[in-house]
Chains A and B, each alone.
Chain A
Amino acid sequence: MSPRVGESVRRPDGLLKVHGHFPYSSDLHEEGMLWGATVRSPHPHARILSIDAAEARAMQGVHAVLTHEDVPGQMLHGLEIHDQPVLAFEHVRYWGEAVALVAADHPEQARRAAEKVRVEYQVLVPITEAEKALAPDAPRLHPGGNVTRHVKIRHGDPNARADVVVTGEYEIGMQDQAPLGPESGLAIPDGEGGVDLYIATQWLHIDQEQLASVLGLPAEKVRLTMAGIGGAFGAREDLSMQAHACLLALKTGRPVKISYSRPESFVGHVHRHPGRLTYEHGADRDGKLAYVRARILLDGGAYASSSTAVIANASCFAVGPYECSNATIDGIVVYTNNPPCGAMRGFGSVQNCYAHEAQMDKLAAALSMDPVDLRIRNAMKTGSRMITGQVIEGPAPVAELLQRVRAMPVPSIPSPHRGEGQGEGRRQVDLTSLPGGVSNTTHGEGVKRGIGFAVGFKNIGYSEGFNDYSTARVRLSVVDGNPRVEVHTAGAEVGQGLVTVQAQIAGTELGVNDVVVLNADTHVGSAGSSSASRQTYITGGAVKSASEAVCKRVLDLARSELHTERELRVENDAVRGTDGKEVVSLATLLGDAVIEETREFHPRRTHPLDPETGQSDAHMQYAFAAHRAVVDVDTELGLVKVIELATAQDVGKAINPIAVEGQLEGGAAQGLGLAVMEEIQLKDGVIRNASFTDYLLPTILDMPPVRKDILELGDPHSPYGLKGVGEPPTISSGPAIVAAIRAATGRPVTRVPVRPHDLTL
């Protein structure tokens, strides 16, 4: 039977992946291929005085050394603002910025030659704190100044008063997406001045647009084909090595592969914005929110990337999924000399969720209310108004999600856990279930349990009037006597299961059992990015629309061939009557004919934020999730063990339920990471932990079971009623963990990731 929407369908690329045969971008190989290496700045801020590549060029095996002088087209690129050099010229603005390139026969030759490129710098004082970038006397890092964007939201009465007021300041560390596949790709010159790039990216067409500009070529001379993607999470939105490989390939006339090492990957992509968030919440004695005032300051690092959109999200969702008539929000993102920050799963809604949820707990304490009751008291629902003035259409089950996670059973406390075990009993302690784990730091002494709740939301799809769309080509033909559907889009399969969903949608709409999803490339129109939890909605919508168009032509053909006006449908490889009986097989009906349709899918339009008030219908769809966390804290050592996460999320319609579960579990793991483990540690603009030894990622020992309650409430505006799924799990999971840590320790805990000394000193 055809793959169907709503069924748990196995991934079509699953067998290749488990056999080790799936071709990731770092696995590519071509005869005569060279390896590229990148010369990077050892300073976070400096003036480039000179670059001497003579020695590197003369080294054995080296075929080319390139600098900014070798960039034939535009020197600058960027997702929203073209401010980032392909190769640095005049200045370097962050530690690890690309300055020059080498191509050599062997990767070690390339690395060694890169070390011999002599760059003379005049070191400048770096700006490494966002607040300092705002100082009137701060050096201007870019011509327009250091403020990348200031979003103002002015909603209701700016002077509103309240019975109870709580304030807080919260700090968020810099998180890395840490996709396991390194930035990598293979550029092959076509011998006619053009280039083919095989690349792991979240959005082929925006890469193509930027590459054509940088290479000074028309778009049709820069063709991109998707290579296997080893995770993305936002890290593959910006250009990393794409332009570099193309430049080297065009210069040498040889295929060039670049594959970053893990340390290089840490400077090769943008990170989640660190931030400082200052909040004031006012409520009446019944717990109804009277106002929220907030200042959200995000450090965008050296280049803009998607900072302008991230700060819009951080501002629009600053209050959380609550009704609040009066809100004054200032969201500011600045340039500094820290590593550039941009997209990461949750995209601005993660940072603010830590703050608004901590504030809600504080408010509950001040009011002597149950924290979940306080949230429910203020919960958004269908018809509620955002602080941007937009009315929430479609399901907004905030209260229900909270009630559901609260009602789930709480894990029992294992008996040896309280430090009461002696002698034999002690040896039976499962260390892996305790804070500190097999480091054997406690058998339960000093361990306290806490439970915390959080709820969050964000936009699905692009916002603020951005032309969001995707393109799908669907082709029906007969192959070896059987009908086959081929689906072709440029949508990036980053691991989330877009290939599966496309096959399910085409299978559902066309009733054909053999559905093949072709590899993504730029020979079909743009799909937009695998970002903003949007692909199932937007590219899924395009596949649905193209499939419907093909189906209509099949049925028209059948009616014409059979001289009938009766109602027909396609199911199980045949045209059938309404009674399900076969009228004609697709193989017979089609013969040698091919039916192909290409469609663009455009969701509802959105509108820019008013620059002075932030009032606008800026977003297309909202997705909500709630989490409950149960943690154990060794209060003597400040070590945390997350015992369980529970979540409830409205997904509208689970197109592929097993994949939806995977998103809820995996997204929660990344939330846990930021809450208690993951931080890019910077000192004077230099990353001190650019490796998986020093940047701590959750392992299977750190990640607890996730109890899940998946609601399918159906959005009337979207294909099949679906909602974007990928990001909400990463938003409120971490804040729930931090709330649980507060409950266990009684400490304020205003910074993530939570460090041992935050809980002990």
Chain B
Amino acid sequence: MNIRCTVNGEAREARDVWAGESLLYVLRERFGLYGSKNACEQGECGSCSVYLDGALVCSCLVLGGQANGREVVTIEGLHGDKVQQAFVEAGAVQCGFCTPGLIVATHDLLRRVPHPTDAQIREALSGNICRCTGYAKIIDAVHMAAR
């Protein structure tokens, strides 16, 4: 099957896609957008978080075919966002594998809640697993980005 969608504002097409390919796989292996990460591929860790028609989703849980005719925004599409700089400044990045997903999820949180409390941050990011940082500096980064 073929998939046509808009990714980060650009029209993209993938041809001869196996129907079982996830949106994550299509983004990575068909479109070369490797920023969305393949950590659990089961919707548990949030490393593959993207926007699909403006909604935060785990791209590993969306079939590539479901993105047909829809709009996808990935970490690459948020280039230069204040959340990214805040993660670097706050020391919220170690290995960085969870980082793209956390940045997309934080971006989504700050759209809804411009000045979140710790509790709101914890709830909003509870679907994103980080194995390196213990999360303290991630909370710092979100506050920094919200300033």
Interface residues of A (CB under 8 A from B): 8, 10-11, 13-15, 17-24, 26-27, 29, 106, 108, 177-182, 228-233, 259, 261-262, 430, 432-433, 438, 494-497, 658-659, 661-662, 665-670, 691-693, 697, 699-701, 703, 705-706
Contact = CB atoms under 8 A, between A and B. Distances in A.
Report which residue of B74, B127, B135 has the largest number of chain A beta carbons within 10 angstroms of its beta carbon.
B135
B135 A665 contact: yes
B37, B97, B138 interface centre (most CB from chain A within 10 Å): B97
A8 B45 CA distance: 29
B12 interface: no
11 contacts: A15-B84, A19-B35, A21-B35, A177-B131, A180-B39, A231-B97, A495-B95, A693-B44, A700-B121, A700-B128, A700-B130
A661 B42 contact: no
Contacts of B21: 108
B79 interface: yes
B84 A19 contact: yes
B119 A18 contact: no
Contacts of B20: 108
Contact of B94 (A496, A670, A699, A705): A496
Main secondary structure of the interface of A (DSSP, over half): loop
Given A659-B91, A701-B122, A703-B134, A691 B97 contact: no
A23 B93 contact: no
Interface in B111-147: 119, 121-123, 125-139
Interface in B1-57: 18, 20-21, 28-29, 32-42, 44-45, 47
Contacts of B28: 27
Contacts of A231: 94-95, 97, 131-132
B93 to A, nearest CB: 5
B131 A178 contact: yes
Contact of A233 (B29, B41, B122, B131): B131
A233 B95 CA distance: 11
B67 interface: no
Given A692-B45, A706-B136, A497 B94 contact: yes
Contacts of A669: 131, 133-135
A733 to B, nearest CB: 10
A662 B123 contact: no
A662 B133 contact: yes
A15 B128 CA distance: 20
Contact of B134 (A21, A22, A665): A665
Nearest to A697: B129
Given A24-B97, A230-B97, A701-B126, A662 B132 contact: yes
Given A14-B88, A26-B38, A494 B137 contact: no
A662 B91 contact: yes
Given A18-B85, A432-B119, 14 more contacts: A14-B88, A19-B35, A26-B38, A27-B34, A106-B18, A181-B95, A494-B95, A496-B94, A661-B137, A662-B134, A665-B137, A699-B127, A700-B128, A701-B122
A23 B138 contact: no
A60 B98 CA distance: 35
